[in-house]
Amino acid sequence: MKNTLGSSVCVTLFGESHGAQIGAVLDGLAPGIPVDEARIARQLSLRRPAGKISTARREQDEFRIVSGVFEGKTTGTPLTILIPNADTRSDDYRRGAPRPGHADYTAYVKYHGFEDYRGGGHFSGRITAALTAAGAVALTALERREIAVGTHIARCAGIDDAPFTDPRTEIEKLNSLAFAVLDPARGEAMRTAVEQAAAAGDSVGGVLETMVIGLPAGVGEPWFDTLESLLAHGLFAIPAVKGVEFGDGFALADLRGSEANDALVLRDGQPATATNHNGGINGGISNGAAVVFRCAVKPTPSIRLPQRTVNLQEMREEELTLGGRHDPAIVHRARVVADSVTALVLCDALAQRYGTDWLRGEPG
């Protein structure tokens, strides 16, 4: 199940950057969930490159749902979304000069040279368009249970965004922004920094912070399917993600227990944590507080500056200067992918706990 995420609700991805079509099969989602194509299109547009801080490749992402939806709602059987690749320029790529920081060399070793190397093939960030489309359906399903997911660019090119202060409102706002920040001024500074890096033929990275509101307590497993394990499993599959931390994350390493523990108090007559250093998860199981985590996104490996690599045919070192169209940053585009992975993982965990029909939001 190499290209599949999840066990009760699961998504399988297929396709290559320069192949005929990419797509996703979403299986196990409850029947009766409304599927809004405009919503899917909107999510795809948030992932799509735009302006000077993204690649010049322009895909309309004219997706088509070919199974699993009937009369506008999920059937409960596999929902398949296809997205044709249109704007491909395969001549931009040649075999045998693996791009540093990309999967070119590792794919070559793993697949013995049979891989479709054009544009990164199956490893291309292009495939996240299919993931985003499937994630849009999962996000809709979660909303039936009033579970909201949102991500902001917490840091980009060394510049921090403002923190969440009123998550439910802010999540709604973020989900309409192409460059998702809580403080527009800092967002502007980030964009300027990205453009500067682009002008230098270079690229930048950043940190995404995701918040989940409304997840019931009691979701996740002790060993080994902790909620952190399940989320991290999906998040580390997003290209360029090299770190994941929950709650205060690495900063917890420097706290004392008396600072890191979240006291339990009564809120509206129910137990709740007074603080949220643990990111809404204790012992691998949701505690009812907001689930909060951050993903480190490395700078895009495709840069215009010359780099050293090895010509695999002739087994000699050479200098590589990339042509083609590239993103000087992907952290803003990866945002909606993080939301999608999160939604898919949560649908899976919820279906396991409460059964297939729970996400319908009605008695089964």
| Residue 195 binding a copy of itself, by CB under 8 A | no
Residue 88 burial (CB count, 10 A): 18
Window contacting a copy of itself (CB under 8 A); options: 38-46, 52-60, 182-190, 275-283: 275-283
Q: Which of 60, 250, 313, 321 binds a copy of itself (CB under 8 A)?
A: 250
Interacting residues with a copy of itself between 2 and 31 (CB under 8 A): 2-5, 7-8, 10, 12-16, 19-23, 25, 27-28, 31
Q: Which of 233, 276, 324, 361 binds a copy of itself (CB under 8 A)?
A: 233
Nearest approach, Cβ of residue 173 and a copy of itself (Å): 23
Pairing of strands 148-156, 307-311: unpaired
| Residue 105 binding a copy of itself, by CB under 8 A | yes
Interacting residues with a copy of itself between 112 and 171 (CB under 8 A): 112, 114-116, 120-123, 127, 131, 155, 157-158
Q: Which of 75, 177, 183, 195 binds a copy of itself (CB under 8 A)?
A: 75
Q: Which of 138, 197, 212, 290 binds a copy of itself (CB under 8 A)?
A: 197
| Residue 276 binding a copy of itself, by CB under 8 A | no
| Residue 88 binding a copy of itself, by CB under 8 A | no
Pairing of strands 79-84, 69-70: unpaired
Provide the token pair at 108.
């070559």
CB 39 within 8 A of CB 132: no
| Residue 284 binding a copy of itself, by CB under 8 A | yes
Distance (Å, rounded) from C-alpha 143 to C-alpha 348? 15
Distance (Å, rounded) from C-alpha 83 to C-alpha 92? 21
Residues in the chain, how many? 364
Provide the CB-side half-sphere exposure for 323 (13 A, CA): 7
CB 98 within 8 A of CB 309: yes
Angle between helices 331-354 and 227-235 (to 10 degrees): 140
Distance (Å, rounded) from C-alpha 98 to C-alpha 102? 8
Q: Which of 151, 203 has the CB closer to a copy of itself?
A: 203
Nearest approach, Cβ of residue 188 and a copy of itself (Å): 19
Q: If phi over 0 gives left and psi between -120 and 50 gives alpha, with beta otherwise, what is residue 34?
A: beta
Q: Which of 2, 176 has the CB closer to a copy of itself?
A: 2
Window contacting a copy of itself (CB under 8 A); options: 39-47, 142-150, 161-169, 303-311: 303-311
| Residue 279 binding a copy of itself, by CB under 8 A | yes
Window contacting a copy of itself (CB under 8 A); options: 75-83, 86-94, 132-140, 173-181: 75-83
CB 120 within 8 A of CB 54: no
